[in-house]
Amino acid sequence: MAIRSYQQHTPQLGERAFVDASAVVIGDVHLGDDSSVWPLTVIRGDMHRIRIGARTSVQDASVLHITHAGPFNPDGYPLIIGDDVTVAHKVMLHGCTLGNRVLVGMGSIVMDGAVVEDDVIIGAGSLVPPGKRLESGYLYVGSPVKQARPLTDKERAFFTYSAANYVRLKDQHLAEGYGQ
């Protein structure tokens, strides 16, 4: 695995965290307990901070980055991700905030300054534009995303099921000697 320091910032991995050998994690990144980072993922905290909560999985070929502070954006945008979040394959998260119990569908893009509240599903292939807020308890789909409907009880139960499933899977990988 490529865990790289940058400008005196070394990624901090929580207890029992898993980072696949083909993933790259750089700079000011904190990965929560029991979280997982899967093949070919890039998490680049080189110009701002990235915080990822507990039991969160970041799946294959996802790219997580920030927006630096500069003349066009004095504070920049860190990337903040809560607990029990499932970031599906090939997702781009850039300088945004995701609450707890969020599912980001395959191939989705969440842009600078967007805020996704707790208990949200973002459908596959969706685009969350800069500065958009997604209200808790809904499914959002499209490009740009639109609120589709309230979540069902079954969908709400899926958040913790998915998180626990990826905790089990990363534990199996760790038991076989992969990752940290």
At 106, which amino acid appears?
M
Residue at 111 is within a domain: yes
Residue at 180 is within a domain: no
The two structure tokens encoding residue 172:
């199996």
CATH code at 122?
2.160.10.10
Residue at 93 is within a domain: yes
In this predicted structure, what is the pLDDT of residue 179? 64
Residue at 75 is within a domain: yes
Q: Note the pTM of the prediction, 2 decimals.
A: 0.96
Q: What is the pLDDT of residues 23-38, one digit of tens each?
A: 999 999 999 999 999 9
In this predicted structure, what is the pLDDT of residue 180? 56
Q: What is the pLDDT of residues 56-103, one digit of tens each?
A: 999 999 999 999 999 988 999 999 999 999 999 999 999 999 999 999
- The residue length of the chain stands at 180
Residue at 124 is within a domain: yes
Burial of 63 (0-12, 13-18, 19+ CB in 10 A): middle
Range of the domain at 23: 2-175
Residue at 145 is within a domain: yes
Residue at 74 is within a domain: yes
Strand partners for 50: 29, 79
Specify the number of domains making up the chain.
1
Residue at 131 is within a domain: yes
Instruction: Locate the DSSP E strands across 53-173.
Output: 57-58, 63-65, 79-81, 86-87, 92-94, 97-98, 102-104, 109-110, 115-116, 120-122, 127-128, 133-134, 138-142, 145-150
